[in-house]
Amino acid sequence: MIAIPFLSKRHPSFQGGVHPDPQKELTEHKPIEFLPVPQELIVPVQQHLGRPGKNVLNHNKTPLIAGELIAEPQGVVSAAIHTPVSGSSGLCSHVTLPNGIHVEAVAVQSNAENLQGRALFDELLGGEWPKSDFERFVRREEIPELVRKAGIVGQGGATFPTAVKLTPNPQKPCDLLLLNGAECEPYLTADHRLMIEAPDAIVCGALIAALSAGCKRIVLGIEDNKPEALHSMQRACSGTPIEIVQVRAKYPQGGEKHLIRVIFHRVVPTCALPLDVGVVVLNVATAAMVAAAVIRKKPLTHRVMTVSGHGVVTPKNVFAPVGVSHRRLIDFCGGLTPDAARVISGGPMMGFAVGDLDSPVTKGTSGITVLTKSDLLHQRQTACIRCGRCIEVCPLHLMPQKIGLAARNRAWDLAQSFQAQACIECGCCAYSCPAALPLVQLIRLAKAALRARSTK
């Protein structure tokens, strides 16, 4: 057994943050289940940060083979999109995703030739994985292109194209790779289960990523409320150079900037990226898919998602294709309870309310949370009482109430002067606000306005 260093006073936690009820017990001990192949998927050509993919299908009905390219990346910050199932493509249309993006999407009707869930999961992430001598499988300089072709994006929610991170940049050399297994968002346990059920794929992917990016040191950061996942990863990392660091459970501990600061003592400046301070950050699910892309030449078409909350009858961790609807996943978990009141794409802190249950999940959907009426009872909005709690808990030391006020008044210059763009939308301010002000929504509004202004 390798030693697991535990963060002590020498590694203080970040300032701010909150301790919401984790609610992980609803699903953390439930093995991953497998959604039967859906009859129809709606596959958006943008499931990532950056430019939408370019649809390469013609507009007639086309037979498709699972894993076939349906949209190619446009530019460096963009990602390929593949069909998760074999079948035929229907009409292209547009779809509005829970995050508000309105984007072209391809309807795919599945046929009888598709592998069912368990077999597909094993083909993608199961079995034996190499942990050294990768030259037997791939040349180092080929790795970013394989990852790009497979359409791998950050599965922690950020959906940044992974190939960009794995392409060595002489101007910004990276020496550290941070494997993010914190999964601090309440309710979500998809990464947790993946660390238990596919740890070797995660380790293989992390080693490949470090090789590609030129990182000399690899550290897995994992919260101290996941002992089962910790021991699974400990076994899988044995004999490899990967170090494991337990970090204290606190929200948003899994935010990459905080984890980098806590583990590596490097500070990522406002509006900069981890790459700017020499760190590549990979979520554990992303690392597993890097392994699948490089060793097994599989694109990212499926993922593990947690469907949880007291508003769903049987919360589960589910392996499912991207493009399946929120409704289908919820039905697979027994449907909504009579007191279900709000469906959220993602977790309750950073997720987006789902307006249309027929909208598809994407590569960045780590889960679906269904809250009940009683979960929402305390949320009656009043005026700001200037208590300052939102400032105390903001891990970036912003002034959320001031940005929110500026956004309400469409005072974008003022919002900019309060560094609205630096906000990571963690939701700590809104969670702590006794006046139940929609601070994150207001800040998102300000960020979108400032973004639109800067691109004019």
Which residues of the chain form contacts with ligand SF4 (CB under 6 A)? Answer: 384-390, 394, 396, 398, 400-401, 423-429, 432-435, 437, 439-440, 443
Residue 312: exposure state from Cβ atoms within 10 A (0-12, 13-18, ≥19)? buried
Residue 241: exposure state from Cβ atoms within 10 A (0-12, 13-18, ≥19)? middle
For residue 224, the minimal CB distance to ligand SF4 (Å) is 22
Our CB check for ligand SF4 shows the closer of 245 and 407 to be 407
Our CB check for ligand SF4 shows the closer of 17 and 205 to be 17
For residue 440, the minimal CB distance to ligand SF4 (Å) is 5
Residue 347: exposure state from Cβ atoms within 10 A (0-12, 13-18, ≥19)? buried
Our CB check for ligand SF4 shows the closer of 22 and 427 to be 427
Q: What is the CA radius of gyration of the chain?
A: 21
Q: Is beta strand 176-181 parallel, antiparallel or unpaired with respect to 279-283?
A: parallel
For residue 71, the minimal CB distance to ligand SF4 (Å) is 31
For residue 16, the minimal CB distance to ligand SF4 (Å) is 7
Report how far apart, in Å, the C-alpha atoms of 432 and of each of 195, 308, 389, 401, 406 are.
31, 22, 6, 12, 20
Helix (H) or strand (E) holding 91: strand 87-96
Our CB check for ligand SF4 shows the closer of 79 and 442 to be 442
Listing DSSP states for 229-289 in one string gives HHHHHHHHHTTSS-EEEEE---BTTTSHHHHHHHHH---PPTT--GGGGTEEEEEHHHHHH
The residue behind tokens 């993608």 is 124
Our CB check for ligand SF4 shows the closer of 17 and 117 to be 17
For residue 111, the minimal CB distance to ligand SF4 (Å) is 44
Our CB check for ligand SF4 shows the closer of 14 and 137 to be 14
For residue 437, the minimal CB distance to ligand SF4 (Å) is 5
Q: Are 177 and 209 in contact (CB under 8 A)?
A: yes
Q: Are 108 and 89 in contact (CB under 8 A)?
A: yes
For residue 243, the minimal CB distance to ligand SF4 (Å) is 28
Name the residue among 146, 85, 79 with its Cα closest to residue 290: 146
What's the longest Cα–Cα distance across the chain?
63
Our CB check for ligand SF4 shows the closer of 117 and 404 to be 404
For residue 252, the minimal CB distance to ligand SF4 (Å) is 7
Structure tokens that stand for 152 in this block? 């791998």
Our CB check for ligand SF4 shows the closer of 161 and 427 to be 427
Task: State the number of CA atoms in the 13 A half-sphere of 202 facing the CB.
Answer: 31
Residues 6+ apart with CB under 8 A from 140: 134, 211, 212
For residue 407, the minimal CB distance to ligand SF4 (Å) is 11
Q: How far apart are CA 283 and CA 158, in angstroms?
A: 10
Our CB check for ligand SF4 shows the closer of 88 and 421 to be 421
Our CB check for ligand SF4 shows the closer of 215 and 407 to be 407
Q: How far apart are CA 253 and CA 285, in angstroms?
A: 17
Residue 217: exposure state from Cβ atoms within 10 A (0-12, 13-18, ≥19)? middle
For residue 345, the minimal CB distance to ligand SF4 (Å) is 17
Report how far apart, in Å, the C-alpha atoms of 209 and of each of 165, 213, 296, 299 are.
9, 6, 15, 16
